Amino acid sequence: MAAIGRWSIRRPWRAIVVWLVFVVVAVAAMVATGTDSLQNGSVGESARGYTLMDEHPGAWPPEREYASIHSDTLRASDKEFQSAATNAGTVLQEQVGGVPSYRTSNDHHSVLVTADVRQPFSTADLHAAVLAVQHDHPQLSIEHTGDISASDARDRIVNDDLHRAELLSVPVTLLVLLFAFGAVVAALVPVLLALTAVAAAFGLLGPISQVFPLDDSVKIVVVLIGMAVGVDYALFYVIRSREERHRGAPSHEALERTARTSGRTVLVSGTVVSVAMAGMFIIRSDVFNGLAAGTIAVIVCAVAGSVTVLPGVLELLGSKIDRGRIPFLPHLRDPGEPSTFWPAIVDRVLRRPVLSCVVAGGILVALALPALRLHISAPGDEALSAKSEPVLRTLATVRA
């Protein structure tokens, strides 16, 4: 790692070009292969059952759309109730093509209108048409859901979550780093490294998905983990190089020392985290396989960027890394005295190494004990979805 870091310091522009080429090639790989999404994340008996149904054409039931009608006062036999159910059935038949069927609850205050999907349809148009029936029958509560509509709603929620993670992770991370460094340039370097590492990892998800089909949540995890480790590994370099310069070392020499120390630290840290993530393969679940592969990919990309392009960027910036300093942050001034907290902790640990290992190991074992009682199961369609989404909320009601 030290040799790679020194090469990057001596040829910074070449290191930057190599890193950018790697990112572009990774993204091109995703474009070439596409991303294979996980269609069924079930485990245990459910997974075996779904596999058998996939092996036998026609075993799967047709997809259905539903209209749920309810009233606390009116009964299914009332004229108003029957009219609403008939209108909802007509709407479903016109939109999805299937002949509607009607099921009445035991208390006769709810009716479920069901129609098999026989033709392409717009979920938005169907939802609006069912709500129009509600407008014509204000005394009743009429809601719409369905297999395809719920799937589209889940996809929309996942995409919204990913977009929210992208919007929040970058500015929040940048804000924290501005307070940590007190300089704009020093704060931007780790963020840019993390973003390029995430972009490269997203590109690698394409080839990876051909081996491990990926659940939609993998993308969100890659963004969050990638930003975290990318910034973390960049901090090793930035902080250490600044410390060396503040001790009087020239910029180039400071980076040489940093490459020999922080480069090894980044490699060891990335290896440990990757091995920890690889533990998810032991579960032998498609969902966890995809999560493990995605997180390992983004960690490897963050490590690669930290030991290659980052030293080159710091070499080009030199003392300019401290440009854009933010005033009125006295706690960010260069400390005149070294920290006393961590040296005191380390000193006590080294005095009693056996006792320290036993106590630390005991704490880790105690924290790990609950994992022995965990049972893996796939959550229901509405378990991890926003209850504010009408289609998913109605799906839970229909199942109940």
Q: What are phi and psi for residue 331, nearest 5 degrees?
A: -75, -5
Name residue 122's amino acid: S
> Of 148, 287, 286, which is closest to residue 217 (Cα–Cα)?
287
Whether 313 contacts 255, CB under 8 Å: no
Return per-residue pLDDT of the chain as tens, 400 residues. 556 767 777 788 888 888 899 899 988 888 888 776 666 656 667 767 777 877 777 777 888 999 999 998 999 899 999 999 999 999 999 999 999 999 999 999 999 999 999 999 898 899 899 989 988 888 899 999 988 888 888 878 777 877 787 778 788 888 888 887 777 888 888 888 899 999 999 999 888 888 878 877 788 888 889 988 988 888 888 888 877 877 777 877 878 888 788 878 888 899 999 999 998 888 877 888 888 999 999 999 999 988 888 888 888 887 787 787 777 654 444 544 566 777 888 898 999 999 999 999 999 999 988 888 877 665 555 555 556 678 888 887 787 7
Torsion over CA: 272, 278, 280, 286 (sign) = positive
The pLDDT assigned to 332 comes to: 45
User: What distance in Å separates the CA atoms of residue 150 and residue 144, rounded to the nearest whole number?
Assistant: 10
Residue 325: strand pairing partners: 183
Tokens describing residue 266? 């980044």
Residue with tokens 């209209």: 67
Whether 195 contacts 21, CB under 8 Å: no
User: What distance in Å separates the CA atoms of residue 352 and residue 172, rounded to the nearest whole number?
Assistant: 40
Label each residue of the chain as H, E or C: CHHHHHHHHHCHHHHHHHHHHHHHHHHHHHHHHCCCECCCCCCHHHHHHHHHHHHCCCCCCCCEEEEEEECCCCCCCCHHHHHHHHHHHHHHHHHHECCCEEEECCCCCEEEEEEEECCCCCHHHHHHHHHHHHHHCCCCEEEEEEHHHHHHHHHHHHHHHHHHHHHHHHHHHHHHHHHHHCEHHHHHHHHHHHHHHHHHHHHHHHHHHCCCCECCHHHHHHHHHHHHHHHHHHHHHHHHHHHHHHCCCCHHHHHHHHHHHHHHHHHHHHHHHHHHHHHHHHHCCHHHHHHHHHHHHHHHHHHHHHHCHHHHHHHHHHHHHHCCECCCCHHHCCCCCCCCHHHHHHHHHHHCHHHHHHHHHHHHHHHHHHHHHCCCCCCCCCCCCCCCCHHHHHHHHHHC
Strand ordering across the sheet containing 101-104? 101-104, 110-116, 64-70, 141-146
- Model pTM score: 0.70
Tokens describing residue 56? 């036998």
Residue 214: strand pairing partners: 37
Structural domains in the chain, CATH included, are 2-36+156-326 (1.20.1640.10), 64-150+390-399 (3.30.70.3400)
The pLDDT assigned to 156 comes to: 82
The pLDDT assigned to 215 comes to: 79
User: What distance in Å separates the CA atoms of residue 6 and residue 257, rounded to the nearest whole number?
Assistant: 10
User: What distance in Å separates the CA atoms of residue 84 and residue 331, rounded to the nearest whole number?
Assistant: 68
